[in-house]
């Protein structure tokens, strides 16, 4: 019997992991520059945190959650996203009372029972930021600027920012009525889900991907036309500040995002390369979420980006312009004979303690195969230890790029200095 990974999950193999590490490290570095601190949140939460926080009528809660009873019959859910957990942690640890302005970031796996396809998995990984405790439009813009900085640092172009405002709770209620009026005549010709959404939450109709619904959705009025004066002013300031920073966006009047907690600013970064018009990253304000999960009114804004999707775009970029990161190793020590092998192991051990990356042969292979291995591993330098080298305690260090050979003392100090010079 053999086992396969669960549908929608996969192994990120060592061959691919460098790209993932680059995304994660770049994200941490950008978060540091913007002064966001890391928070690590649990993967399991009480189901109700998500049903309340994200909203009963969303696809995520309605059909995508991995929910199960634990051994005591309590309903738990594998987190489908990080924002609700961040809101819970904010309250649990009393930040709202003691230190209400917080800028956090996180990375990790999320789980949604979606139909797997390119760039869509059931276990996927996000990088995210949450800035809690301020209503200022400058915070929306900082979060968007951070998202752009991440993309820039990863060398990703060909992206565009969809931006919209869906206003406050009252604006949203008004807009829902506007949508009901708009769809009143056409809803009978739309899909089953949309007919349900029409009564439950007409905003969700705007997310419908069904072809037959598109002509009706495209004609729908935009949310930004129905904002109260305060929300309209907030949106105008966000746009002015984005302009000021030279951050480009396209207003998409029907962008509402798939989670119910959003208020005012919503945005997505889209890559033309990903196909299926899927977003690389999405976020917005959620000024009502903390209250929904039991806290005082607390404005907040954030985003999450999909690491899986970023990795796909980076890989396609590398394939297109041949810039894939080659493996690298400071030194490979090939050896012959028992004593040669023992010396190789001793030297490797000492050099590793000093910070060098070193590999040796572990398969008792002939010299030719060991040299091929050194090449395959991208070793920058090569040392061969045979009987002569053991006897004289001297050897030749070869710089692989130039073929140049240097005489070296076979001591860890002598070698380390030579390897550093050769590199």
| Residues in touch with ligand HAM (CB under 6 A) | 81-83, 112, 114, 119-121, 124, 126, 128, 130, 258-259, 279-284, 286, 302-306, 308-309
Residue 278 CB, nearest approach to ligand HAM (Å): 7
> Residue 116 in contact with residue 50, Cβ under 8 Å?
no
Q: Which is nearer to ligand HAM, 284 or 299 (CB)?
A: 284
Q: Tell me the residue nearest to ligand HAM as measured from the CB.
A: 306
CA 66/CA 80 separation, integer angstroms: 8
Of 114 and 273, the one with the shorter C-beta distance to ligand HAM is: 114
- C-alpha count within 13 angstroms, C-beta hemisphere, residue 338: 0
User: How far apart are CB 140 and ligand HAM at their closest, in Å?
Assistant: 11
Q: Nearer Cβ to ligand HAM, position 119 or 167?
A: 119
Q: Of 334, 280, 282, 324, which is closest to residue 303 (Cα–Cα)? A: 282
Nearest to ligand HAM of 128, 137 (CB atom): 128
Element (H, E) at 27: helix 14-33
User: Phi and psi of 262, rounded to 5°?
Assistant: -70, 145
Cβ-based burial of 57 (10 A; exposed 0-12, middle 13-18, buried ≥19): middle
**Closer to ligand HAM by Cβ: residue 271 or 370:** 271
Query: Smallest distance from the beta carbon of 172 to ligand HAM, in angstroms?
Result: 16
Tell the smallest beta-carbon distance from residue 324 to ligand HAM (Å).
Answer: 22
User: Alpha-carbon distance 198 to 207, whole Å?
Assistant: 12
Output 128 or 288, the one with its CB closest to ligand HAM: 128
* Segment (H or E) for 232: helix 229-244
C-beta of 348: minimal distance to ligand HAM in Å? 40
The least distance separating ligand HAM from the CB of residue 103, rounded to whole angstroms, comes to: 12
Local structure of 45: helix, strand or coil: strand
Q: How far is the CB of 243 from ligand HAM (least distance, A)?
A: 23
- What residues are paired with 268 via a beta bridge? 162, 282
Nearer to ligand HAM, 118 or 369 (CB): 118
* CB 300 to ligand HAM: min, Å: 8
Task: Measure the CA–CA gap between 381 and 403, rounded to whole angstroms.
Answer: 9
Residue 168 has a CB neighbour count (10 Å cut-off) of 19
Report CA-CA distances (Å) from 340 to 286, 302, 337, 386, 398.
Answer: 65, 58, 5, 5, 17
Please state the φ and ψ torsions of residue 326, each to the nearest 5 degrees: -80, 150
- As given in the structure block, the two tokens for residue 135 are 């209503």
Rounded distance between C-alpha atoms, residue 273 and residue 317, angstroms:
9
Q: Which is nearer to ligand HAM, 130 or 171 (CB)?
A: 130
Nearer to ligand HAM, 52 or 309 (CB): 309
* 202 vs 306, beta carbon nearer ligand HAM: 306
Residues in the chain: 423
- Chain-centroid distance of CA 25 in Å reads 11
Q: What 3-state class would DSSP assign to 268?
A: strand
CB of 367 to ligand HAM, least distance (A): 47
Signed CA dihedral, 253, 170, 81, 114: sign only: negative
- Which one, of 203, 127, 166, lies nearest residue 288 by Cα? 166
Q: CB of residue 305 vs ligand HAM: minimum separation in angstroms?
A: 6
Q: Are residues 410 and 346 in contact, defined by beta-carbon separation less than 8 angstroms?
A: no
């Amino acid at each position: 019997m053999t086992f396969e990974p669960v549908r929608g999950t996969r192994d990120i193999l060592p061959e691919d992991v460098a790209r993932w590490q680059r995304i994660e490290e770049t994200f941490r570095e950008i978060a540091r520059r913007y002064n966001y601190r890391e928070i690590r949140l649990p993967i399991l939460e009480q189901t109700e945190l998500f049903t309340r926080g994200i909203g009963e009528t969303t696809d995520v809660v309605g059909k995508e959650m991995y929910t199960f009873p634990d051994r005591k019959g309590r309903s738990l859910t594998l987190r489908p996203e990080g924002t609700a957990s961040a809101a819970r942690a904010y309250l649990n640890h009393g930040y709202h009372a003691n230190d209400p302005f917080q800028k956090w970031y996180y990375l990790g796996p999320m789980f949604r029972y979606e139909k797997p396809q390119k760039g869509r998995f059931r276990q996927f990984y996000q990088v995210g930021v949450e800035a809690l405790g301020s209503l200022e439009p400058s915070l929306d813009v900082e979060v968007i600027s951070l998202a752009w900085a991440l993309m820039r640092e990863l060398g990703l172009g060909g992206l565009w920012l969809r931006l919209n405002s869906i206003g406050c709770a009252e604006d949203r209620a008004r807009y829902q009525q506007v949508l009901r009026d708009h769809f009143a005549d056409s809803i009978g010709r739309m899909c089953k889900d949309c007919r349900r959404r029409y009564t439950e939450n007409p905003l969700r109709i705007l997310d419908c991907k069904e072809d037959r619904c598109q002509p009706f959705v495209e004609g729908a009025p935009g949310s930004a036309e129905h904002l109260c004066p305060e929300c309209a002013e907030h949106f105008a300031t966000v746009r002015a500040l984005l302009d000021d920073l030279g951050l480009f966006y396209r207003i998409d009047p029907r962008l509402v995002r798939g989670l119910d907690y959003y208020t005012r600013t919503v945005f997505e970064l889209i890559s033309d390369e990903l196909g299926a018009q899927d977003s690389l990253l999405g976020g917005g304000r959620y000024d009502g979420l903390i209250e929904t999960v039991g806290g005082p009114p607390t404005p907040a804004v954030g985003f999450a980006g999909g690491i899986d999707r970023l990795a796909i775009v980076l890989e396609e970029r590398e394939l297109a312009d041949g810039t894939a990161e080659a493996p690298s190793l400071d030194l490979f020590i090939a050896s012959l004979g028992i004593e040669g092998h023992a010396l190789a192991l001793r030297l490797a051990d000492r050099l590793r303690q000093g910070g060098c990356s070193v590999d040796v042969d572990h398969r008792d292979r002939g010299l030719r195969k060991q040299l091929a291995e050194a090449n395959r591993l991208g070793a920058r330098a090569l040392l061969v230890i045979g009987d002569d080298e053991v006897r004289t305690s001297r050897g030749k260090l070869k710089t692989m790029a130039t073929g140049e050979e240097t005489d070296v003392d076979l001591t860890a100090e002598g070698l380390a200095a030579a390897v550093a010079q050769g590199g």
